[in-house]
Chains A and B, each alone.
Chain A
Amino acid sequence: MTGPADTVHGLPPLHLAVALDGAGWHPAAWRAEGARPGELFTAGYWAGLVTEAEHGLLDLVTFEDALAVQSVSLRGPDERTDQVRGRLDAVLIASRVAPLTSRIGLVPTTNVTHTEPLHLSAALATLDRAGHGRAGWRPQISARADDAAHFGRRPPATLREDDLGSPETISARLAPLFDDAAEVLATVRRLWDGHRPALPVTVLAHARIPYELAARGGDVVFVTPHSPADAAAVLTEVAAAATAVARPADRPLKVFADLLVLLDERPGEAARQKARLDDLDGAPLASDAEVFTGTPAELADLLLAWHAVDTAGLRLDGFRLRPARLPHDLLAITRALVPELQRRGAFRTAYTSHTLHGHLGLPAGSPRWA
């Protein structure tokens, strides 16, 4: 069965993912109304969030992770006591919720700079078994000196002050790490050869070098455009990256735009809430992704406008929404945004597949990777 999007909206089906991180993506989210700051390190908290996302028929949830404690500084730990610090391992959170869910894709983030492909491939393949074909993977590099010191290693590359100007200059400095990551992805895929189908691999990318990593080893790339025109430009760059690395044409790279969202049914209220949280945190919310404040219907307008961007046949396949406050903005997504998109014929009204490959429309076979 094809989704209603094909018939009503005339566009390919829209994919929706949610990115889960701590109390949400606003640094003061743990102080928001309805937050559960005392439960962030419990299974029940994560089970509640993921089952809610599944009720919303979302394609997948990603779980953020990092080896280092959260910090406002790229250089190392800060001494902030007024923001969430501390994490649980993302693969284990995903495996803990796998038996409690049956449809939604589970995509943990893992470090690939300091970890072993042998161990990663086995852990992710086991997650896929626990979830009956619903696991994915988001590999992530790390250049932080404190991550290296946790392993008794020297930092593999060091960012300088004048690198920090743009994603291009940052990724140019870190190019050896992206090459290294591409090798890890290739090794993991080789180790998955006995595992069919290979798990969908997702990469968050902001510039040409990471786009090429996504094009070399990924199935989905998460990008961070700030407008429809920007989305068109990013789509063009991603396509160029795919060409540059000679990605086979029969393996299209899905492109999801990331948005950090604060939602409220009352017009203007989400912006007021954001201002309150910004005050508590002492600084305006800063993000690599576009920050949206508004009503679920306004967000639906934006998603459909961006989804309609068509530049030489290139389109966004979907969105990864980063809820600023958990569970508030997740609930707004599943209980208001999704029904709104369904009313407009732009989102599935039931899962039509049991696997993450199926949700994403990826081939179910196990393509051999170069």
Chain B
Amino acid sequence: MSAQQIHLAVLPPVADDPGPDGLAGLTRLARTAERGGFDFLLLPESAPPGPEVLTALGALAATTTRLGLAAGLGPVGRQPYELARRLASLDHLSGGRAAWSVTPGPEGPAVGALRHAASPPDADRPAHAAEFLRAARTLWDSWAEDDVPADPDGGVFVRPGAGAFTHRGEHFALDGRFTTPRAPQGHPVVVRTVASARDLDPAAADADVVIVPFTGLEEARRIRQDLAGRLAAHGRSPDGLRILSAVGYALGETPSAARDGAADVTGTPRQVADALTAQVRGGGPDGFLLTPHPASGPLEDFVDLVVPLLQADGAHRTLYAGTTLRDHLGLAQARRPSRENAV
């Protein structure tokens, strides 16, 4: 594979009424994305009757085998211990396909309905989210890869001290033993969305994938350079972050049939494939998060009409080479500090 590969992900539309068919619509979408060789599906948080994100992804882990499963969840009103545990559980139960998209989180009534609410003031939210994620990483690192020998002959199931953790910070002071052994990916993939310039630095500090708004190629290059500088400032390799551009697209049989002023990329499948490829090969994003747009049509159309063109150009996988989401994204397994260093 010499040509640069386009990473693809999809954001499903929020269903107002889930209907009587359980999670069938979501399941169909996930299977279509997997058929198209997508890296992941990002399920955003929605109020009931929308599905609870992690529970729905747990079910999708059974009906897909390779697709990454990203949970869009905000830290506000949540606890690092519980969320880290659920994300690590999803990573185990999906064979290393879990991701957490750190979203700004619920506002207003949703927060007011919480029993244990300790919602930070708006100005503190970025710092709160960053500390929440640090605490989650501490929990994910609390078990070493070899902490569960499960050796019946030697009579050793677990190594002493497995799961011990301490976190002290502005918003959280936690300690104890984490319940969930080290996840297949080490840490689930962390996704952050950049909506404005002030979101760039948090993303460069702690994300594995950053979602940026769709722009022209020049601006996309500038964003990449900006992020590269920030990554270096945080002591991170430029190769440790994948940049996906959130794109609304519209497909048509002919260029005029696809005309839709509100979509970011419009045209025939050939035109859309070329536009996406040009951005990635021109030094813009690493790929795209396909976002719902009224003119997009079903994801089947993209997978049936655009993906084969990308594949023919050598710009998109025809088979998943690996099994975990980190494999798909070309990201290294999260490494744990050795126990000697950690304690």
Residues of A whose CB lies within 8 Å of any CB of B are: 30-31, 35, 37-38, 40-43, 46-47, 66-69, 77, 79, 81-89, 91-100, 114-119, 121-127, 129-132, 146-147, 149-153, 184, 187, 191, 194-195, 280
Contacts and interface: CB of A to CB of B under 8 A. Distances in A.
Interface in B96-131: 110, 113-116
Contacts of A191: 48
B54 interface: yes
Please indicate which of the listed interface residues A46, A69, A117, A129 has the most CB atoms of chain B within 10 Å of its own CB. A129
B320 interface: no
B110 A81 contact: no
B59 A130 contact: yes
B55 A85 contact: no
Contacts of B143: 86
A125 B163 CA distance: 31
B179 interface: yes
B181 interface: yes
Per DSSP, chain A at the interface is: helix
Given A42-B92, A92-B86, A123 B54 contact: yes
Contacts, number: 184
A152 B52 contact: no
Given A68-B179, A86-B158, A91-B58, A151 B81 contact: yes
B296 interface: no
Given A99-B62, A126-B52, 11 more contacts: A43-B62, A68-B177, A82-B155, A96-B62, A99-B59, A116-B78, A122-B52, A126-B56, A146-B177, A149-B174, A152-B173
Interface of B: 18, 22-23, 27, 48-49, 51-52, 54-56, 58-59, 61-63, 77-79, 81-82, 85-86, 88-90, 92-95, 110, 113-116, 143, 148, 150, 152, 155-163, 172-181
B58 A95 contact: yes
A105 to B, nearest CB: 15
A81 B62 contact: no
Contacts of A91: 55, 58, 86
B150 A37 contact: yes
Contacts of B172: 152
A37 to B, nearest CB: 4
Contacts of A83: 157-158
Contacts of B116: 114, 116, 151, 153
B150 A95 contact: no
A38 B160 contact: no
Nearest to B94: A43
A316 B59 CA distance: 34
A150 B23 CA distance: 33
A92 B55 contact: yes
B161 to A, nearest CB: 8
Contacts of A88: 88-89, 92-93, 180
A68 B175 CA distance: 11
A43 B177 contact: no
Contacts of B113: 118
Contacts of A92: 54-55, 58, 86, 89-90, 93
Contacts of A98: 59, 62
A86 B160 CA distance: 12
Contacts of B179: 66-69, 86-87
13 contacts: A41-B180, A69-B179, A93-B93, A98-B62, A116-B115, A121-B48, A126-B56, A130-B23, A130-B59, A146-B176, A150-B81, A150-B175, A151-B79
A30 B157 contact: yes
Closest 5 pairs (CB-CB, A-B): A95-B58, A37-B150, A130-B59, A122-B52, A89-B89
Contacts of B180: 41, 86-89
B176 A31 contact: no
Contacts of A151: 79, 81-82, 116, 174
Nearest to A82: B155
A81 B150 CA distance: 10
Given A37-B152, A86-B162, A92-B55, A125 B48 contact: yes
